[in-house]
Structure 1
Amino acid sequence: MSRTPQQIFQSYVYAGSLTRNADALAENFTEDGVLEAPLMPAGAAFPRKLVGREEIRRTMAAYYERESEGGRLPNLEKSGYVLHVTADPDVFIAEIDTVFDGAGDGAGDGGGGDETVSLVQIFRVRDGRIARLRDYFAPELMS
Protein backbone atom coordinates (compact mmCIF):
# COMPACT_ATOMS: atom_id res chain seq x y z
CA MET A 1 0.00 0.00 0.00
CA SER A 2 1.69 3.18 -1.15
CA ARG A 3 0.30 6.44 0.21
CA THR A 4 1.64 9.97 0.01
CA PRO A 5 2.60 11.91 3.14
CA GLN A 6 -0.54 14.02 2.56
CA GLN A 7 -2.78 10.93 2.50
CA ILE A 8 -1.13 9.42 5.58
CA PHE A 9 -1.37 12.67 7.53
CA GLN A 10 -5.00 13.34 6.59
CA SER A 11 -6.03 9.78 7.43
CA TYR A 12 -4.30 10.00 10.82
CA VAL A 13 -5.90 13.36 11.70
CA TYR A 14 -9.36 12.27 10.57
CA ALA A 15 -9.22 9.02 12.56
CA GLY A 16 -7.76 10.65 15.68
CA SER A 17 -8.53 14.31 16.28
CA LEU A 18 -11.68 14.57 14.20
CA THR A 19 -13.59 11.32 14.70
CA ARG A 20 -11.77 9.80 17.69
CA ASN A 21 -12.01 6.37 16.10
CA ALA A 22 -9.37 4.20 17.76
CA ASP A 23 -9.83 1.35 15.26
CA ALA A 24 -9.27 3.63 12.26
CA LEU A 25 -6.39 5.37 14.05
CA ALA A 26 -4.64 2.07 14.79
CA GLU A 27 -5.01 0.91 11.18
CA ASN A 28 -2.82 3.84 10.12
CA PHE A 29 0.10 2.18 11.96
CA THR A 30 2.27 -0.79 11.08
CA GLU A 31 1.72 -3.84 13.26
CA ASP A 32 4.78 -2.83 15.33
CA GLY A 33 4.10 0.92 15.02
CA VAL A 34 4.98 3.35 17.80
CA LEU A 35 2.99 6.42 18.88
CA GLU A 36 4.97 8.75 21.14
CA ALA A 37 4.26 12.01 22.92
CA PRO A 38 7.76 12.64 24.33
CA LEU A 39 6.80 15.78 26.26
CA MET A 40 4.03 14.09 28.26
CA PRO A 41 4.89 13.46 31.90
CA ALA A 42 4.62 9.96 33.32
CA GLY A 43 1.13 9.18 34.56
CA ALA A 44 -0.62 11.76 32.36
CA ALA A 45 -4.06 10.96 30.91
CA PHE A 46 -2.65 11.03 27.37
CA PRO A 47 -0.21 8.15 26.85
CA ARG A 48 3.48 8.97 26.55
CA LYS A 49 4.39 5.92 24.43
CA LEU A 50 2.40 3.12 22.82
CA VAL A 51 4.04 0.22 21.02
CA GLY A 52 2.17 -1.95 18.53
CA ARG A 53 -1.06 -1.47 16.61
CA GLU A 54 -3.14 -3.34 19.19
CA GLU A 55 -1.81 -1.31 22.14
CA ILE A 56 -2.50 1.88 20.17
CA ARG A 57 -6.05 0.68 19.43
CA ARG A 58 -6.82 -0.40 23.01
CA THR A 59 -5.24 2.55 24.82
CA MET A 60 -6.59 5.23 22.49
CA ALA A 61 -10.11 3.73 22.65
CA ALA A 62 -9.98 4.06 26.43
CA TYR A 63 -8.56 7.58 26.18
CA TYR A 64 -11.25 8.70 23.71
CA GLU A 65 -13.93 7.21 25.95
CA ARG A 66 -12.66 9.18 28.97
CA GLU A 67 -12.31 12.37 26.97
CA SER A 68 -15.62 12.12 25.08
CA GLU A 69 -17.39 14.47 27.45
CA GLY A 70 -16.14 18.03 27.21
CA GLY A 71 -13.49 17.27 24.58
CA ARG A 72 -13.08 20.09 22.10
CA LEU A 73 -12.90 19.60 18.37
CA PRO A 74 -10.72 21.85 16.20
CA ASN A 75 -12.18 24.47 13.88
CA LEU A 76 -10.98 23.14 10.52
CA GLU A 77 -11.64 26.38 8.65
CA LYS A 78 -9.30 28.30 10.97
CA SER A 79 -6.69 25.57 11.51
CA GLY A 80 -3.83 24.84 9.15
CA TYR A 81 -0.76 22.74 8.57
CA VAL A 82 2.32 22.46 6.39
CA LEU A 83 3.93 19.14 5.52
CA HIS A 84 7.70 19.08 5.05
CA VAL A 85 9.26 16.22 3.14
CA THR A 86 12.81 15.31 4.06
CA ALA A 87 15.81 13.81 2.29
CA ASP A 88 14.65 10.47 3.71
CA PRO A 89 11.58 9.41 1.68
CA ASP A 90 10.24 7.54 4.72
CA VAL A 91 10.18 10.63 6.96
CA PHE A 92 8.01 13.74 6.85
CA ILE A 93 7.20 16.47 9.34
CA ALA A 94 3.84 18.13 10.00
CA GLU A 95 3.85 21.68 11.34
CA ILE A 96 0.36 22.31 12.70
CA ASP A 97 -1.63 25.25 14.04
CA THR A 98 -4.91 23.96 15.46
CA VAL A 99 -7.53 26.55 16.32
CA PHE A 100 -10.25 25.94 18.90
CA ASP A 101 -13.16 28.36 18.99
CA GLY A 102 -13.34 30.54 22.07
CA ALA A 103 -15.75 29.74 24.85
CA GLY A 104 -18.77 31.95 24.52
CA ASP A 105 -22.29 32.21 25.88
CA GLY A 106 -23.82 30.21 23.04
CA ALA A 107 -24.80 33.37 21.16
CA GLY A 108 -21.90 33.01 18.74
CA ASP A 109 -19.85 35.86 20.18
CA GLY A 110 -16.75 33.75 20.76
CA GLY A 111 -16.50 35.02 24.34
CA GLY A 112 -12.94 34.27 25.35
CA GLY A 113 -11.51 34.33 21.83
CA ASP A 114 -9.97 31.57 19.80
CA GLU A 115 -7.14 29.44 21.11
CA THR A 116 -4.36 28.41 18.72
CA VAL A 117 -2.30 25.37 19.60
CA SER A 118 0.93 24.86 17.66
CA LEU A 119 2.60 21.47 17.45
CA VAL A 120 5.00 19.40 15.41
CA GLN A 121 4.67 15.76 14.42
CA ILE A 122 7.46 13.66 12.94
CA PHE A 123 6.28 10.67 10.90
CA ARG A 124 8.40 7.68 9.92
CA VAL A 125 6.51 5.45 7.48
CA ARG A 126 6.91 1.95 6.11
CA ASP A 127 4.79 0.43 3.35
CA GLY A 128 2.31 3.31 3.46
CA ARG A 129 1.68 3.08 7.21
CA ILE A 130 3.08 4.92 10.21
CA ALA A 131 5.99 3.01 11.76
CA ARG A 132 6.77 5.74 14.32
CA LEU A 133 5.04 9.01 15.11
CA ARG A 134 6.51 11.50 17.53
CA ASP A 135 3.93 14.11 18.52
CA TYR A 136 5.40 17.21 20.16
CA PHE A 137 2.85 19.40 21.94
CA ALA A 138 2.54 21.14 25.30
CA PRO A 139 1.46 18.53 27.90
CA GLU A 140 -1.02 20.88 29.58
CA LEU A 141 -3.15 20.72 26.44
CA MET A 142 -4.14 17.16 27.28
CA SER A 143 -4.87 17.58 30.98
Structure 2
Amino acid sequence: MALSHKEIFERYMYAGAITRNPDAIAAMFTDDGVYDSPLVPDGHPLHHLVGRDAIRTGTALYHQQSQPSSQGTMNLERSAYVLHDTTDPDVFMAEIDVAFDQPDGRRTTMSLLQIFRLRDGRIAMLRDYFTEPPSAAPTG
Protein backbone atom coordinates (compact mmCIF):
# COMPACT_ATOMS: atom_id res chain seq x y z
CA MET A 1 0.00 0.00 0.00
CA ALA A 2 1.43 3.37 -1.04
CA LEU A 3 2.01 5.98 1.62
CA SER A 4 0.34 9.37 1.34
CA HIS A 5 2.39 12.54 0.98
CA LYS A 6 1.50 13.37 4.59
CA GLU A 7 2.74 9.99 5.82
CA ILE A 8 6.01 10.30 3.88
CA PHE A 9 6.57 13.83 5.15
CA GLU A 10 5.79 12.95 8.77
CA ARG A 11 8.10 9.92 8.66
CA TYR A 12 10.84 12.09 7.17
CA MET A 13 10.37 14.74 9.88
CA TYR A 14 10.44 12.09 12.61
CA ALA A 15 13.64 10.56 11.21
CA GLY A 16 15.33 13.93 10.78
CA ALA A 17 14.16 16.74 13.03
CA ILE A 18 12.79 14.62 15.88
CA THR A 19 15.10 11.60 16.27
CA ARG A 20 18.03 12.85 14.13
CA ASN A 21 18.55 9.32 12.78
CA PRO A 22 20.75 9.31 9.63
CA ASP A 23 20.06 5.61 8.92
CA ALA A 24 16.30 6.19 8.97
CA ILE A 25 16.66 9.31 6.79
CA ALA A 26 18.80 7.48 4.21
CA ALA A 27 16.37 4.52 4.14
CA MET A 28 13.61 6.83 2.90
CA PHE A 29 15.56 7.65 -0.28
CA THR A 30 16.02 5.68 -3.48
CA ASP A 31 19.47 4.15 -3.99
CA ASP A 32 20.37 7.08 -6.26
CA GLY A 33 18.40 9.65 -4.24
CA VAL A 34 19.54 13.27 -4.09
CA TYR A 35 19.36 15.61 -1.10
CA ASP A 36 20.05 19.17 -2.18
CA SER A 37 20.13 22.33 -0.06
CA PRO A 38 20.70 25.13 -2.57
CA LEU A 39 20.75 28.00 -0.04
CA VAL A 40 23.51 26.70 2.24
CA PRO A 41 27.14 27.49 1.39
CA ASP A 42 29.51 25.11 -0.38
CA GLY A 43 31.11 22.82 2.18
CA HIS A 44 27.95 22.59 4.29
CA PRO A 45 27.26 18.91 5.14
CA LEU A 46 23.83 19.07 3.44
CA HIS A 47 24.76 21.11 0.37
CA HIS A 48 24.49 18.34 -2.27
CA LEU A 49 24.31 14.64 -1.43
CA VAL A 50 23.84 11.84 -3.97
CA GLY A 51 23.01 8.26 -2.94
CA ARG A 52 21.97 6.73 0.37
CA ASP A 53 25.53 6.47 1.71
CA ALA A 54 26.21 10.16 1.07
CA ILE A 55 22.85 11.12 2.57
CA ARG A 56 23.55 8.99 5.66
CA THR A 57 27.04 10.46 6.07
CA GLY A 58 25.99 14.07 5.38
CA THR A 59 23.02 14.06 7.73
CA ALA A 60 25.08 12.36 10.47
CA LEU A 61 27.78 15.02 10.10
CA TYR A 62 25.21 17.80 10.13
CA HIS A 63 23.59 16.47 13.31
CA GLN A 64 27.00 16.09 14.97
CA GLN A 65 28.10 19.61 14.02
CA SER A 66 24.85 21.50 14.50
CA GLN A 67 24.19 22.95 17.87
CA PRO A 68 20.44 22.67 18.49
CA SER A 69 20.89 24.42 21.83
CA SER A 70 22.02 27.57 19.99
CA GLN A 71 18.67 27.57 18.17
CA GLY A 72 16.81 26.83 21.40
CA THR A 73 14.52 23.91 22.09
CA MET A 74 12.18 22.91 19.28
CA ASN A 75 8.57 23.51 20.31
CA LEU A 76 6.45 20.91 18.50
CA GLU A 77 3.18 22.47 19.61
CA ARG A 78 4.05 25.84 18.03
CA SER A 79 5.74 24.39 14.94
CA ALA A 80 3.58 23.95 11.87
CA TYR A 81 3.60 22.78 8.27
CA VAL A 82 1.41 22.91 5.19
CA LEU A 83 1.70 20.36 2.38
CA HIS A 84 0.98 21.28 -1.23
CA ASP A 85 0.23 18.65 -3.86
CA THR A 86 1.11 19.31 -7.49
CA THR A 87 -0.33 18.02 -10.74
CA ASP A 88 2.43 15.39 -10.67
CA PRO A 89 1.43 12.73 -8.09
CA ASP A 90 5.12 12.11 -7.33
CA VAL A 91 5.87 15.72 -6.39
CA PHE A 92 4.74 17.66 -3.34
CA MET A 93 5.98 20.64 -1.34
CA ALA A 94 6.12 21.35 2.37
CA GLU A 95 6.10 24.83 3.91
CA ILE A 96 7.51 24.51 7.43
CA ASP A 97 7.77 26.88 10.37
CA VAL A 98 9.89 25.38 13.15
CA ALA A 99 9.36 27.18 16.46
CA PHE A 100 12.11 27.36 19.07
CA ASP A 101 11.95 28.36 22.73
CA GLN A 102 15.13 30.18 23.74
CA PRO A 103 16.73 29.80 27.19
CA ASP A 104 16.13 33.51 27.84
CA GLY A 105 12.37 33.13 27.19
CA ARG A 106 12.37 34.49 23.62
CA ARG A 107 10.63 32.54 20.89
CA THR A 108 12.05 32.28 17.38
CA THR A 109 10.95 30.60 14.17
CA MET A 110 12.93 29.08 11.31
CA SER A 111 10.93 28.92 8.06
CA LEU A 112 11.81 26.62 5.19
CA LEU A 113 10.44 25.03 2.04
CA GLN A 114 11.03 21.47 0.91
CA ILE A 115 10.21 19.99 -2.49
CA PHE A 116 9.88 16.20 -2.61
CA ARG A 117 10.06 14.11 -5.79
CA LEU A 118 9.14 10.45 -5.24
CA ARG A 119 9.84 7.25 -7.15
CA ASP A 120 8.23 3.96 -6.15
CA GLY A 121 7.28 5.37 -2.74
CA ARG A 122 10.77 6.60 -1.84
CA ILE A 123 12.33 10.05 -2.05
CA ALA A 124 14.26 10.38 -5.31
CA MET A 125 15.01 14.11 -4.87
CA LEU A 126 14.58 16.42 -1.91
CA ARG A 127 15.33 20.11 -2.31
CA ASP A 128 15.53 21.67 1.13
CA TYR A 129 15.45 25.48 1.01
CA PHE A 130 16.64 26.78 4.35
CA THR A 131 19.26 29.03 5.90
CA GLU A 132 20.51 28.85 9.43
CA PRO A 133 21.16 31.70 11.81
CA PRO A 134 24.93 32.33 11.96
CA SER A 135 25.10 31.08 15.56
CA ALA A 136 23.41 27.80 14.58
CA ALA A 137 25.35 27.08 11.40
CA PRO A 138 27.65 24.07 11.66
CA THR A 139 31.35 24.73 11.42
CA GLY A 140 33.64 22.54 9.49
State the TM bucket, normalised to the shorter chain. Answer: 0.7 to 0.9
Contact 1:123 1:130 in 2 (8 A): yes
Matches within 5 A, 1:47-126: 47-67=46-66, 70=69, 72-104=72-104, 110=105, 113-126=106-119
Shift of residue 67 of structure 1?
Answer: 2.9
1:14 maps to 2:14: yes
Distance 1:73 1:30, change over 3 A: farther
Shift of residue 63 of structure 1?
Answer: 2.2
Identity of matched residues, %: 51
User: Which of the two has higher C-alpha Rg?
Assistant: 1
Shift of residue 73 of structure 1?
Answer: 4.5
1:133 maps to 2:133: no
- For structure 2, the 5+ residue unaligned runs are none
- For structure 1, the 5+ residue unaligned runs are 105-109
Contact 1:17 1:73 in 2 (8 A): no
* Counterpart amino acid of residue 53 in structure 2: E
Contact 2:73 2:102 in 1 (8 A): no
Q: Given the two structures, how large is their TM-score scaled by the length of structure 2? A: 0.88
Distance 1:132 1:49 in 2: 11
- Cross-structure match for 2:32: 32
Contact 2:25 2:56 in 1 (8 A): yes
Moved over 3 A (4+): 68-73, 139-142
What CA deviation, in whole Å up to 9, does each residue of 1:33-71 have, x standing for no partner?
Answer: 000100111123x42100001110122122222336736
Distance 1:21 1:31, change over 3 A: same
